[in-house]
Amino acid sequence: MERSFVIIKPDGTARRRVSALVLKALMDRGYKIRAFREMKVPESLAKLHYDVHKEKHFFQWLVDFISSAPVLALIFEADDVIQGVRDALGATFVQKADPSSLRGKYGIWAGVNIAHASDAPETATKEIELWSNEGGLVESPDAEGLTKAYIERYSSGDADYTMKLRDVVKNAIENSDTSDKVLESLTELMGMDAKGINPGEISALASIIFEFVKEEIEKE
Ligand code: RTP
Ligand code: MG
């Protein structure tokens, strides 16, 4: 049976409700969960995970983003799960993802996009090996129950700050606004649904999103 390695990235996990909704949407597709781990990603693991992108201009940003605050690392299993998860996520850049896809619904902007998923069976195998050896990911019969418990615990309520976060980022880029106000808004909105996330990690995540905004403005 095919497997996919999935990460709910810090921008989803810091917003607990959003990560619960993403997990629920993926489970509703009938996939089995073989491993579940909430963890802070060491920079060394983030670098190895995104090693294929090491020559890209956004590599260091991507490493800082993925290691800024906790993620959920998971192994999904089902027939055609790799393509299925990627279809559910939608296009890489949030503004290009279909509005009904998970990145389209919950991603913040561009590559600040909620989740990673393996792109082929060979990469899935490599990623599962890497995260098992370097990330303490363990396959367990408990994984399914842990995932359901997470969904149960965090998916209630209807507050969704995604569009507000998206507007802050978009407006800042459009208006070349690099003032502290932007960072303050990001920190406040990022913290709205962050039960159990350390405030220092929320700040680190907001700062790395602010870095992204500043880099986009410099490019123009
Ligand atoms: P992922 O690996 O995270 O599942 O995403 P993907 O296959 O859809 O896209 P990929 O090209 O592998 O990019 C990996 C992650 O890097 C960030 N990114 N930023 N600033 C940029 O131009 C840029 N391009 C990619 C995104 O977080 C993307 O998910
Ligand atoms: Mg990729």
Give the DSSP H or E segment for 212. Answer: helix 199-219
Assess whether pLDDT exceeds 80 at residue 25: yes
Question: How much is the average pLDDT of 52-57?
Answer: 97
| Catalytic annotation present for 116 | yes
**Which candidate, 24, 5, 216, places its Cα nearest to that of 112?**
216
Share of the chain above pLDDT 90, in %: 95
Q: Which of 4, 11, 51, 62 to mutate to test the pocket of ligand 1 (most atoms within 8 A of CB)?
A: 62
Which amino acid makes up residue 128?
I
Average pLDDT score, the chain: 97
Please report the pLDDT score of residue 220 as a whole number.
77
pLDDT, residue 158, reads 76
Q: Residue 16 has what pLDDT?
A: 95
| Given 49, 53, 57, 116, the catalytic residue | 116
> What's the predicted TM-score (pTM) here?
0.97
> 71-77 and 3-8 as β-strands: parallel, antiparallel, unpaired?
antiparallel
- Look at residue 73 and give its three-state secondary structure: strand
Reported as a single tens digit per residue, the pLDDT across 77-114 is 999 999 999 999 999 999 999 999 999 999 999 999 99
Summarize pLDDT for 146-171 with one digit per residue, the tens: 999 999 999 987 788 999 999 999 99
Name the residue ranges covered by the structural domains of the chain. 3-154, 162-219
pLDDT digits (tens, 9 = 90+) for 121-143: 999 999 999 999 999 999 999 99
CB count, 10 Å around CB of 71? Answer: 27
pLDDT digits (tens, 9 = 90+) for 30-46: 999 999 999 999 999 99
Helices (H), ranges, the chain = 10-13, 16-27, 43-49, 59-66, 81-89, 102-106, 121-134, 143-154, 162-174, 180-190, 199-219
Q: Phi/psi at 208 (nearest 5 deg)?
A: -75, -30
Question: By the 8 A CB rule, do 175 and 144 touch?
Answer: no
Report how far residue 32's alpha carbon sits from residue 77's, in angstroms, rounded to the nearest whole number.
5
Distance of alpha carbon 203 from alpha carbon 220, whole angstroms: 26
Give CATH for domain 3-154. Answer: 3.30.70.141
Q: Residue of the nearest CA to atom 25 in ligand 1?
A: 111
Q: Percentage of the chain surpassing pLDDT 70? A: 100
Which ligand number lies closest to the CA of residue 107? 1
| Any atom of ligand 1 within 6 Å of the Cβ of 111 | yes
Burial class (CB in 10 A: 0-12, 13-18, 19+), 61: middle
Q: Is 92 in the pocket of ligand 1 (CB under 6 A)?
A: yes
